[in-house]
A and B are shown apart, each in its own frame.
Chain A
Amino acid sequence: KAGVTQTPRYLIKTRGQQVTLSCSPISGHRSVSWYQQTPGQGLQFLFEYFSETQRNKGNFPGRFSGRQFSNSRSEMNVSTLELGDSALYLCASSSQGSGQGFEKLFFGSGTQLSVL
Chain B
Amino acid sequence: DAKTTQPTSMDCAEGRAANLPCNHSTISGNEYVYWYRQIHSQGPQYIIHGLKNNETNEMASLIITEDRKSSTLILPHATLRDTAVYYCIVRGPYNQGGKLIFGQGTELSVKP
Contacts and interface: CB of A to CB of B under 8 A. Distances in A.
Given A90-B43, A106-B46, A101 B32 contact: yes
Interface in A63-116: 90, 92, 94, 96, 101-110
Given A43-B44, A107-B45, A102 B104 contact: no
Contact of A102 (B38, B44, B94): B94
Interface of B: 30, 32, 34, 36, 38, 41-46, 49, 51, 87, 93-95, 97-105
A108 B94 CA distance: 20
B43 A45 contact: no
B interface SS class: loop
Interface residues of A, number: 26
B94 A101 contact: yes
A87 to B, nearest CB: 13
A42 B104 contact: yes
Given A90-B43, A90-B44, A96-B95, A102 B102 contact: no
A interface SS class: strand
Contact of A42 (B32, B34, B97, B103): B103
A58 interface: yes
A102 B93 contact: yes
A48 B49 CA distance: 20
Given A45-B99, A56-B99, A58-B99, A102 B51 contact: yes
B32 A108 contact: no
